[in-house]
C-alpha cells in the first residue's frame, strides 16, 4: 500500500461488511484519522506493513502483516519468538465474499511472508463469531490453537508454521 491508496482504504473502512469485523464498530474514522493511522511510514513505526491486494488490475482487499513481539498495549505480551508474524485482512466488496478470494489473499500473504527465512510462523486472531474468516484461514493452512483475550476482546488464535523443506 502507498500513500495514494489511503482514500480508497478510507472508503472501504466505511462499508458495513468491513465495519462488522474490522476496527471499532462504534467509531468510524474520518479521512484525516484514516490517513494518520494507516500512512505506511506511521505503520512502519509500529512494525506493521500494509498491502492492497490486486486481481486483474483491480484492488480487491486490504491486508497487513505485523511483528507481534513487543507490540505492547496488551497485545501478544507472552510472545518471545522474533520470527512470528501476524496477519489481518478484509475484502473490499461484499460481493467478493464467499467466492474464495479471501482464501487466495491469505495464501498469497503466507507465501510472501515465508519468503523471509527469519519468519518461523504466522498467526491470526479473528473474532470467534467470524466463522467465515475462521474457515478461510483453515482452508489456507491455519489451525485453531485456542481462544485468547486481546485488547479488542476474545479472539480465535490461529497459527501456521513454516512448511518443512521438501
pLDDT tens digits, one per residue of 131-159: 999 999 999 999 999 999 999 899 999 99
Domain ranges of the chain: 3-161
Tell me, which fold does domain 3-161 have in CATH? Aminopeptidase (3.40.630)
Higher pLDDT, 97 or 39: 39
For the chain, the average pLDDT equals: 92
Mean pLDDT of 5-21: 92
Q: What is the mean pLDDT of residues 73-94?
A: 93
Q: How far out from the chain centre does Cα 112 lie?
A: 13
The neighbouring-strand residues paired with 55 are 58
Q: φ, ψ for residue 35 (rounded to 5)?
A: -60, -45
26 has a pLDDT exceeding 70: no
Rounded to two decimals, the pTM is 0.91
Go through 147-157 and write b for each residue having 16 or more CB atoms within 10 A of its CB, e for each that does not: eeeeeeeebbb
Distance CA 18, CA 25 (A): 9
Please, are residues 57 and 95 in contact by the beta-carbon 8 Å criterion?
no
Amino acid at each position: 500500500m502507498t500513500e495514494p491508496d489511503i482514500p480508497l482504504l478510507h472508503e472501504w473502512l466505511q462499508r458495513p461488511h468491513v465495519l462488522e469485523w474490522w476496527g471499532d464498530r462504534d467509531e468510524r474514522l474520518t479521512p484525516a484519522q484514516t490517513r494518520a493511522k494507516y500512512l505506511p511510514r506511521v505503520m512502519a513505526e509500529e512494525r506493521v506493513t500494509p498491502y492492497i491486494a490486486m486481481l486483474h488490475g483491480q484492488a480487491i482487499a486490504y491486508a497487513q502483516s505485523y511483528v507481534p513481539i513487543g507490540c505492547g498495549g496488551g497485545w501478544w505480551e507472552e510472545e518471545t519468538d522474533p520470527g512470528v508474524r501476524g496477519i489481518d485482512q478484509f475484502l473490499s466488496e461484499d460481493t467478493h465474499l464467499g467466492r474464495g478470494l479471501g482464501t487466495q489473499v491469505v495464501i498469497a500473504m503466507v507465501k510472501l511472508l515465508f519468503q523471509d527465512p527469519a519468519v518461523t510462523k504466522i498467526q491470526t486472531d479473528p473474532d470467534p463469531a467470524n466463522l467465515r474468516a475462521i474457515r478461510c484461514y483453515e482452508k489456507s493452512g491455519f489451525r485453531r490453537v485456542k481462544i485468547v483475550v486481546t485488547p479488542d476482546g476474545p479472539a480465535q488464535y490461529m497459527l501456521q508454521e513454516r512448511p518443512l523443506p521438501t
